[in-house]
Amino acid sequence: MKLTVLGATGGIGRELVRQALDAGHTVTAVVRDPARLPVTGARLEVFRADLTDPEALLPALTGRDAVLSGLGPRGRKDAGVATRLTRTALTALEATDVRRFLLVSASPVGPAPADDGLLDRGMRSAVSAILRPVYDDLRAMEADVARSTAAWTFVRPPRLQDKPVTGVYRTVIGGFPRAGRFIGRGDVAHAMLGMIGEVGTVKQGVGVAY
């Protein structure tokens, strides 16, 4: 497949690029600073863009099979970045014939498991309160994309860890795995790549966790 990765220098973005190349795909990595992308490969195109101009982004999206986004705020001070940058990408995407769009969101944005225990409910509530600006940003991003013509999927992980890919994790379409508290960035990327061709994940939020 021909894939474009947005936010390719982030933790999940780098994993998306690396794993996609390892799987034999052709990858266009959209970055603001090419020096921050340590991944190389014969099938890799590094496309420099700051995601402020939809028209400038068109060459990186046209003719691709899917677009995967690792864009998102790194903390409270970055709140708003996911919505702002994704709007640019979405405007460009809708000017092409590409429809498959997979984006990283976060578990508190989606529904909690109905059978979650007291400890997990408490942790979820506390984290949501502390990082409310971040999750409000991701909710706004999801709302924008959900109104679009894209065949979108929101991938919603819990707390992220810097761990190598294992391929062993749980996913729940339209919900979240019970007592799912952590997942490695490598496995989030693995899950996203696996969902590209999964029709059941189109226009769904998917919870993913160990």
Instruction: Single out the residue of 36, 56, 54, 71 nearest to residue 46, CA to CA.
Output: 36
Instruction: Provide the pLDDT for residue 122.
Output: 59
pLDDT in tens, 139-173: 999 999 999 999 999 999 999 999 989 999 999 99
Give the length of the chain.
210
Paired tokens of 170: 């749980």
Instruction: Provide the pLDDT for residue 17.
Output: 98
Paired tokens of 98: 């590409």
Per-residue tens of pLDDT for the chain, all 210 residues: 999 999 999 999 999 999 999 999 999 999 999 999 999 999 999 999 999 999 999 999 999 999 999 998 776 776 789 999 999 999 999 999 999 999 999 999 999 887 776 666 656 666 666 677 899 999 999 999 999 999 999 999 999 999 989 999 999 999 999 989 999 999 999 999 999 999 999 999 999 999
Q: In this structure, are residues 37 and 74 in contact, taking their beta carbons and an 8 Å threshold? A: no
Instruction: Single out the residue of 15, 20, 47, 18 nearest to residue 33, CA to CA.
Output: 47
